[in-house]
Structure 1
Amino acid sequence: MKRWVDEWMMFALCVLYLGVSVVVVPFAISAARNEGTFGTFTAVEKDCGRDGCDWTGTFVSDDGSIRMDDASFDSEELDEPGDQARAQKVAGDNSLYSRGSKGWILFVAGDVFCLGYVGWRIRKTWLRRRVVAEEPAA
């Protein structure tokens, strides 16, 4: 029973991951192509958790048309409050990205895994049902 629950939980998580990727990957690809609005991020506070550290601070576009006072950004160029780094904001997304961001690669790798798992899970279920349907009734 536990194995069945684990397999279907993984299936559900992969479907959820694929759904999130449909929304996130286009923004990440736009950032990789440097299609965002560039500006300067000024670090204010470092927030560290299980997955590493991000900086909270202010982003101001080069032309001054975009200002985000509570922006979050992760950059190796930032060491202490007041440090500045180049960043870009992609239209439709509140995230900030570095020039030529490679964040999309991680999502696509996860997508490949999840597509394979979901396909395997559906095929396994279909084959099991087909075998049961073909068994002679006693």
Structure 2
Amino acid sequence: MNQLINAALDSRWNMIFIGLNLSTSDTASGSPFSVTSVSNADVEITTVGGGTPITINRQAFVETLRYLLPNQHTEQNRCPIGSNKDINLAGPLCVTARNANGTNVMIINYLLPLLTHMNLVNTDGSRPNTIWLA
């Protein structure tokens, strides 16, 4: 499975570039952000309005997809995003991405629009926000 995920990321990583502007997935309160740095190992984003830069390592992308694949999260079996700044209140997908990133910073709201931009997942921004494999 890791080879499949890495191959998918490798083939689409170049779709992420400095200056790419995206928005978090929540329809009611989506927040714009921009990609400020990209390497083979990570992506750095900054929220519009001069927020603190947030680094998302490649392993967080891998682990998010590793969570969705074996749990067969298709459009018929959507996965709740469950984002929350408090890790004790966050859902399993949010915690998985955060742990893979090696920090206690909620990154799922930025990671998922990047994966959506790469055409690897789809999201539904109505509440509760959900995600599924593309």
Same fold, TM-score > 0.5, yes or no: no
TM-score, normalization: structure 1? Answer: 0.23
Q: Which structure dedicates a bigger proportion of its chain to strand? A: 1
Q: Which has the larger radius of gyration?
A: 1
TM-score, normalization: structure 2? Answer: 0.24
Q: Which structure dedicates a bigger proportion of its chain to helix? A: 1
